[in-house]
Amino acid sequence: MATRTRRPPAAASPWTKPDQRGRQRELKRQAVLQTAARLFNERGFHATSLDDIARQLHVTKPTLYYYVKSKDDILLECVRAALGMMKEGIDAVRESGGRALDQLVACMRIYVDIVMQDFGMCVIRNGEDPLPPPLKKELRRLKAGIDHEFRRLIAAGVEEGSLAPCDPKMAAFMIGGALSWVGRWYRPDGELDPQQIAEQAVALLLGGVLAPAQRRAAARQRKKTQEIPA
């Protein structure tokens, strides 16, 4: 009787499946961007080298080029990620509807929360200045979209009566500038946590620092000034 020869079990492949490789590559790419953003924020863009980033990740400099093209490309991706998160959050608020004032408050909270994160701080502390002109143009386009949404909400708030009459463009610049500055001075080990900072920042920008009685007095004075003939 003939005996059947058993085949040895197939050797397990040391390579991962394509979909797993894609996920692993993206995780590593995000680690590169996150590490770079933190170093850019701590040391500055020009004072941080690709060697510094590689050293923090325990890899060689050539390894980085598998995930990014250049240091400029890293900064662009960090800033693009932050602006993308802002846009995604603002779009979600817009889709949810509601009063313009409530939407504005929600968008302000989203904005200030992101500028306290690594990618958001990268926008504020490094900005577009280190980048070549073509990349600067792209970032300005993304920023303009966010600014436009703030202007739209402010104008709608004035129209619905929840905001005092004002120039939406000027108001958007003031709100955006003040919230952006949080990304300059915020420290994770500070006295206030991100939620407390966001709450106080929004309250101060919308309510001001004057007591209610003083606000009413100031409003009356502005009205009198406006009524004086030129």
Write down the pLDDT at residue 139. 85
CA 44/CA 47 separation, integer angstroms: 5
Give, to the nearest 10 degrees, the angle between helix 18-43 and helix 71-96.
Answer: 100
Confidence check: pLDDT of 200 > 70: yes
How many structural domains is the chain composed of? 1
Which domain does 124 fall in, by range?
79-208
- Is 19 part of any domain? no
- Is 53 part of any domain? no
- Is 194 part of any domain? yes
- Is 47 part of any domain? no
Q: Which two tokens stand for residue 98?
A: 């509601």
Task: Report residue 11's pLDDT band, with 50, 70 and 90 as the boundaries.
Answer: low
Could you tell me if 119 and 82 are in contact, meaning their C-beta atoms sit under 8 angstroms apart?
A: yes
The whole-model pTM stands at: 0.81
- Whole-number average pLDDT of the chain: 87
Q: What CATH code is carried by the domain that includes residue 149?
A: 1.10.357.10
- The arithmetic mean of pLDDT across residues 73-98, rounded, is 93
- Is 135 part of any domain? yes
- Closest among 204, 203, 197, 199 to 182, alpha carbons compared: 197
- Is 159 part of any domain? yes
Could you tell me if 72 and 130 are in contact, meaning their C-beta atoms sit under 8 angstroms apart?
A: yes
Phi, psi of 73 (to 5 degrees): -65, -40
Task: Report residue 149's pLDDT band, with 50, 70 and 90 as the boundaries.
Answer: very high
- Is 94 part of any domain? yes
- Is 73 part of any domain? no
Confidence check: pLDDT of 19 > 90: no
Lowest mean pLDDT among 33-37, 56-60, 106-110, 130-134: 130-134
